[in-house]
Structure 1
Amino acid sequence: MSLTMRPLALTINGKAFGPVDVPEGLMMVDFLHEYADLTGSRFGCGIGVCHACVVILDGAGGSEEIRTCITGAHFFNGKTIRTVEGHAKYDEHGEVVVLSPIQQKFLEHYSFQCGYCTPGFVNGATVLVERLKREPVARDQVEQTISAALNPHICRCTGYVRYYEAVKDVILSTPGLVKAGS
C-alpha cells in the first residue's frame, strides 16, 4: 500500500509555501510540524476539543480560528493562514524585536504556566481583537465577549483568569475596540 500524494500550496505568515507533495489525509498540525518546521501550534487532544492547535485562517470576511488536529492540510490549499510564529516582528537575523500586543500582555499578566495552550490562546485572542476592530463591543459586554471567544480553549494549568485579564487589558487599551460612550 502506498500513500497518495497531492500538491499543496498556501501562504503561511505572509510567505508563499509550496507547492509541495503532501499525503492525502495528513492533518494540518502535522504538516506545520513536519513540512513547514513551524512547531508552535500544539497537538493537544487530537479531537478538536482543546484548541491548542488552532491557526488563524484569513479570508475576505475576516479571520477565524481553525483547529488543525482535525482539519486536513489540503483544506488549506490556496488559502492564507497565520500561526503563532507569525505574530511577532523579527529582525533580519530572525530574532524577535517586538511582540504582538496580545503576546506582550500575556507576558505582563503572567498569563500562562506551562505554556502548552498559549499558542491557541494567542491565536484566539488575536481573532477576537481583529473582530472587535470591525465590530466594537460595549464596555459592559467586554468580559462576556472575551469569555465567549476564549471558553473553547482549554488550559490544564487553570490559567484562565490571567489570560482573560490580559485580553481585557488589550481590548480596553486599544482605541476603537470598545464602542464610544459605552
Structure 2
Amino acid sequence: MSTTPARTGSLTLHINGRSHGPVDIPEDMMLVDVLHEYLGLTGTRFGCGQGVCRACTVIVDDEQGPREVRSCITGAHYFDGKRIRTVEGHAKLDASGAITELSPVQQAFLDHFSFQCGYCTPGFVNAATVLIERLQKTPVERQQVEATISEALAPHLCRCTGYVRYYQAVKELVLKTPGLVRDGERTP
C-alpha cells in the first residue's frame, strides 16, 4: 500500500510583529498546528478541534479587523501574508524575552483570578482584546456594557466555569478605561 505525500505550499506568516517564512507547509494543515509544530508558539490551545470552544482563537488584523479567527478549523494558508496576533504577542517583553508588562486584558484577568486551569484563557484574552480595540473606535453606551461583553465572550467555552470572573474582569476594564463607554443622551 503506497501513500501519496501531502501537497505543500509556500507560506509566509506575520505573527506578533515578526515575519515567518516563506516555509513549505502541507496545504491541509491548520494554523494551530503550524503555530505549535513549526513556530514553537504553543499559547494558542487546541481544544475541541471543531472551532466550538474557541481556545484556539487568534486575532487577525486586516481591513476587516481586528477580528477573531479560530485556528483549529482554518487552514494555515488562509493566513498567508496576513497580520496575526497570538496570546504570546500581548505582553511587553525586554530584550531577553522576559515579560516586563502584561496587557491591560491580561492584567485584569490576573487581578480577578479569572481562570482556573487556564486552558481557555488564550481565547478569552484574544476575544477581550478585540472587544477593547473595537470599543476604542466605537464606544458603547453605558447601559449596553454588559450585553456587549456577553456578546463578545459568550461563544468562548470554559470547562472550569470561570465565566463570572472573566466577565467581571472585562467589565471593570471597560468601565475604567477612558473613552470606551459613552453616556446616552439625556432628555430634559
Q: Which category describes the TM-score, using the shorter chain as reference length? A: over 0.9
* 1:117 is the counterpart of 2:120: yes
Query: How many residues get paired?
Result: 182
Distance in structure 2 (CA, Å) of the matches to 1:109 and 1:14:
29
Q: Which residue of 1 aligns with 2:95?
A: 92
Please give the secondary structure, in 2, of the residue aligned with 1:62: coil
Structure 1 residue runs of 5 or longer lacking an equivalent are none
Q: Percent identity?
A: 65
Q: Which runs of 4+ in 1 moved over 2 A?
A: none
RMSD (Å) for aligned C-alpha atoms: 0.9
Matched residue SS, 2:19: strand
Q: Determine if the alignment matches structure 1 residue 158 to structure 2 residue 148.
A: no
Structure 1 residue 115, shift from structure 2 partner:
0.1
2:7 match: 4
Shift of the alpha carbon at 1:105?
0.5
Matched, 1:28 2:31: yes
| TM-score normalised per structure 1 | 0.98
- For the residues of structure 2 that align with 1:50 and 1:62, how far apart are their CA atoms? 21
- In the TM superposition, what is the alpha-carbon distance from 1:62 to its structure 2 partner? 2.7
Larger radius of gyration: 2
Match of 1:19 in 2: 22
Give the corresponding residue for 1:132: 135
| Structure-2 separation of matches of 1:144 and 1:180 | 15
Consecutive unaligned residues of structure 2, counting only runs of 5 or more, are none
- The aligned residue for residue 73 of structure 1 is 76
User: Match for 1:146 among 145, 149, 153?
Assistant: 149
TM-score (norm 2): 0.95
Matched AA of 1:100: S
What do the CA deviations read for 1:113-139 (whole angstroms, capped 9, x no partner)? Answer: 000000000000000001101110011
2:168 is the counterpart of 1:177: no
